[in-house]
Chains A and B, each alone.
Chain A
Amino acid sequence: MKKVAAIMMALLLVLTLFSGCAGSGKAEIALITDKGNIDDKSFNQGSWEGVVAFVEDQSKAGNKISHKYYKPEEANDAGYLEAIDLAVTGGAKVIVTPGFLFEVPVYEAQTRYPDVKFILLDGQPHDPDWNYETKSNVASILYAEQESGYLAGYAAVKDGMTKLGFMGGMAVPAVQAFGYGFLQGAEDAAKELGLEDGAVSVTYHYTGNFDENDTNKATAKTMYQEGTEVIFACGGSVGKSVMSAAAEAGKKVIGVDVDQRYDSETVITSATKGLGASVYQVLEAIYVKDNWNEFAGKTTTLNAKNNGVGLPTEVIGDANADAFDRMDKFTKSDYDEVFARLVNGDVVPIRTIEVADPNGYATADELVNGLSLVKVAPQVR
């Protein structure tokens, strides 16, 4: 055994010499992952896909830009900041930080590295005492989640479903906005279809976590057993629990953040944030269009107008495929129509309502009154 190991070592060493000294490993565009992995089918992945798409397009145009992602050693402010330090050491000029967990670390880093540009997705830099400040080297991107949720709710009811479910993670602003938009979209679709008052029921639930676990699966299962046709799973890994329950019950799921149709056959559509698109836009502004100033030093809320939110309209890897093939009646043209209404401002979904509960859990009355629901009857659990 000893000999074999020695021979292998020698062989590999020789191989190494022949392959020579390739890339130094420096990367100009860096992404820091948050607590999950790069393939989390959520923020990390969505944002990273934007980086990759941009770099590939540039590469085709003959402009090679190095890029890579870094994983923090620990998932807290100091750990994220340390990863940013490492990325800068690694030659990063643009650093993409996906998610609001980076708000404090980016606040610190924007002063420490004034020559490095930061793209902070879904968050705004602030200090530990919640004093917001976005310096000129930071582009803070927020999303109009209510619009994305609106499209999902609209599509579901238009597709003929009347028993809907919403399973949010924790009642953080983004999740709340998705949920409120979902209810408003369902309401508008029901009106268009001329349904009776209260004809659309929505079981509205916050799981209190972003986990894949048995409790969440059981909750979803119960909803399906009660007749719910589709659940809008809106909270990280909660989606996995819901999809697994849906697969067993033969029911449907609406995904969130990124197009989740590839995770499960049960996902009919997804209320996406244009993470990749927004990263692409900002990178383009920096490298190609030279209009970084449009994003620098401020918060940009991306919405339907600038392709920041929407339902997926393309199937990756198949240009001819129909992204709405898992819907019965709702088609691409229906979608284009309602999307246009959001773009030109005919419809402006409400983002926030008054909620008494400190955890942000709205009651059914608060939902009905705050969102002026008539056709939709929310049931909170």
Chain B
Amino acid sequence: MQDRNGSSSKLKVKKLLKIKGSSSFTAALLAIALGLIFGFIIMLFASPANSLPGFFTILTGGLQRLDDVIYFMVPILMTGLAVGFAFRMGLFNIGASGQYTMGMFFALYAGFMWKPPGNLHWLVCILAGLAGGMLWGLIPGIFKALLNVNEVITSIMFNYIGMYLVDMLIQSNAKMYVPTTTRTAYLPVSAQLPALGLSNSSANISIFFAIAIAVLLFIVLNHTIFGFELKATGFNKDASTYAGMNGKRNIILTMMIAGALAGLGGAFAILAPSTIPGSSMTYEPINIIAANGFNGIAVALLGNSHPIGIIFSALFISYIQRGGTLTSLYGYKPEIIDVVIAVIIYFSAFAMIMNIALGRFLARRKEKSAEKQGQEMKDAYQEVQEIDHVKEEV
């Protein structure tokens, strides 16, 4: 998003938002609507009789489970921020999974192996998770900045390296791992995050941290020199070099921050309190890459890589998932529900990609053909085109 909140020309800002700023928001809504329609069509085919109440449940079921919506949204909010923040600099941080897993492991390690005095064990665990994720973002960042190795490749590799490493480290640690249940032991209560006190839910205070972090990122992106450089590099690397920005330092810094965000996601997930007293979240080292990392990509895309947008897209995706689970009460098999939810998320993300690509294409074409024509007309035209194109896609 641009710096639009100028003080001297409020009226113009308003006009601009009306014309242009709303287009990414409407595009997101449109994408969601499309995803929902397709989800509904699948439900119709799977079980026509139950499709209406089932679909209604997807839409409204989350309302009955707001506590769970909040609980599940935190990790994908964090990985969404990790992907979205790096994307603002033009880096595709596909390694959020590895950073997430690393953060989770560091948090687990701090939870089991350290016993700091006082009541802030969990805070130490969170910070450990932040450090773990940061480390795992730093390495691809260094590779990119100093050796010009594509961050997509390194971060994918580091997803695997991180996952296998964590699984290995956990399995070889007798204090953390219980072989008979093939998962980690229960974390001490002191390491678990304070619950929100909502009955029968793992929702915890990490939601406040996550939202605060998103707001902080918004401020960094829009009100600081670093954010200015970061976005400039994301929009136009050559121009940022021309303007004398230190690209290497910024790449490393951005990847570190992105990694820290994903790492926090992993920490928040594993440190969440269990609904069963004495129990806790557990991690099963079964050589599977954390899905929350990839969900982060969808969250970031739907949120248009905007920190505040990502809050809402994480909320939406979590909300739809929770409602989706409830549709099993209407005769839908869990597998069908998985497909429906995946379709909704997929469409949301896919339509956004189309929107971005199309926006750039149109902008380029317009430059050539109509540099001097009325601005409002063009914007209207672009919007119409975007909408039409999305429709055609369908």
Q: Is the CB of A104 within 8 A of B49?
A: no
Given A16-B49, A170-B179, A208-B171, A89–B334 Cβ distance below 8 Å?
A: no
Instruction: State the total of A-B contacts with C-beta under 8 angstroms.
Output: 129
B99 interface hit (Cβ, 8 Å): no
C-alpha spacing A90/B318, complex, angstroms: 21
Q: Are B44 and A211 in contact (CB under 8 A)?
A: no
Contacting pair B276 A1 (CB below 8 A)? no
Partner of B275, one of A71, A82, A171, A172: A82
Q: Let me know if B394 and A104 touch, CB within 8 A.
A: no
Could you tell me if A128 and B286 are in contact, using CB atoms closer than 8 angstroms?
Answer: no
Within 8 A of A (CB), among B148-190: 171, 174, 179-183, 186
Q: Chain B 38-79, CB within 8 Å of chain A: the 1/0 string?
A: 000100100111111000000000000000100010000000
Q: Is A21 part of the binding interface, using a Cβ–Cβ cutoff of 8 Å?
A: yes
Q: Which of A15, A86, A128, A170 is within 8 Å of B278, CB to CB?
A: A128
- The contact of A211 among B37, B48, B286, B331, by CB within 8 Å, is B286
B182 in complex: contacting residue of A73, A89, A172, CB < 8 Å: A172
Q: Are B174 and A70 in contact (CB under 8 A)?
A: no
Most A CB contacts (10 A, CB to CB) among B51, B180, B330 go to B180
On chain A, the residues within 8 Å of B330 by CB distance are 24-25
A16 & B48 in contact (Cβ 8 Å cutoff): yes
Given the complex of chains A and B, what is the CA–CA distance between A129 and B392 in angstroms? 59
Query: Which stretch of B14-22, B110-118, B120-128, B321-329 is in the interface?
Result: B321-329
Query: In the bound complex, how far is the Cα of B281 from the Cα of A108, in angstroms?
Result: 15
Contacts A68-B328, A71-B334; A1 near B179 (Cβ below 8 A): no
Q: A76-B274, A129-B278 are in contact. Are A211 and B180 (CB under 8 A)?
A: no
Q: What's the Cα separation between A127 and B50 when bound, in Å?
A: 38
**B276 contacts A86, C-beta separation under 8 Å:** no
- Tell me if A213 is interfacial: C-beta within 8 Å of chain B: yes
* Contact of B48 with A19 in the complex, beta carbons under 8 Å: yes
B375 at the interface (CB under 8 A from A): no
CB < 8 Å neighbour of B49 from A22, A35, A68: A22
The reply to whether B284 and A128 form a contact with Cβ atoms under 8 Å apart is no
Q: Within the complex, what minimum Cβ distance (angstroms) separates B232 from chain A? A: 38
Partner of A2, one of B179, B279, B391: B391
Q: Are A8 and B41 in contact (CB under 8 A)?
A: yes
Q: Which residue of A lies closest to B286 (CB)?
A: A211
Interface range on chain B (Cβ under 8 Å from partner)? 35 or more
Indicate with 1 or 0, residue by residue over A7-34, a CB within 8 angstroms of chain B CB atoms.
Answer: 0110010011001111111100000010
Asked whether any CB of chain A lies closer than 8 Å to the CB of B287, the reply is yes
Q: Mark A213-228, 1 if CB is under 8 A from B, else 0.
A: 1000000000000000
A-side interface residues, number (CB < 8 Å)? 55
Partner of B41, one of A12, A20, A23: A12
Q: Is there an interface contact between B392 and A128, defined as CB atoms closer than 8 Å?
A: no
| Cβ-defined contact, B49 with A20, below 8 A | yes
- Taking the closest CB of chain B, its distance from the CB of A213, in whole angstroms, is 7
Name the A residues within 8 Å of B50 (CB-CB).
22-23, 25
Cα–Cα distance between A304 and B274 once the two chains are bound (Å): 39
* Cβ contacts under 8 Å, A15 to chain B: 44, 48
Beta-carbon nearest neighbor of B38 in chain A: A5
A82–B278 CA distance with the chains assembled, in angstroms? 16
**A164-187 interface (Cβ within 8 A of B):** 170-173
Asked if A90 and B49 make an inter-chain contact with CB atoms under 8 angstroms apart, the answer reads no
Closest to B57 in A: A25
Q: Is the CB of A213 within 8 A of B276?
A: no
**Inter-chain contacts of B202 with A (CB < 8 A):** 78
Contact A108 B181 (CB under 8 A): no
List CB contacts (< 8 Å) of A72-117 with chain B.
Answer: 73, 75-78, 81-82, 85-86, 89-90, 100-101, 104-105, 108
- Enumerate chain A interface residues (CB-CB to B < 8 A): 1-2, 5, 8-9, 12, 15-16, 19-26, 33, 35, 37-38, 68-71, 73, 75-78, 81-82, 85-86, 89-90, 100-101, 104-105, 108, 127-129, 170-173, 208-211, 213, 358-360
**New contact pairs (7) apart from A73-B321, A105-B276, A172-B179, CB-CB < 8 Å:** A8-B41, A21-B49, A25-B331, A68-B328, A76-B281, A77-B279, A210-B286
Of the A-B pairs whose beta carbons lie under 8 Å apart in the complex, a sample of 7, sorted by A's number, is A15-B48, A23-B331, A73-B68, A85-B200, A86-B326, A210-B182, A359-B179
Q: Could you list which residues of chain B lie within 8 angstroms of chain A, going by C-beta atoms? A: 37, 41, 44, 47-52, 68, 72, 171, 174, 179-183, 186, 200, 202, 274-282, 284, 286-287, 321-322, 325-326, 328-335, 338, 391-392, 394
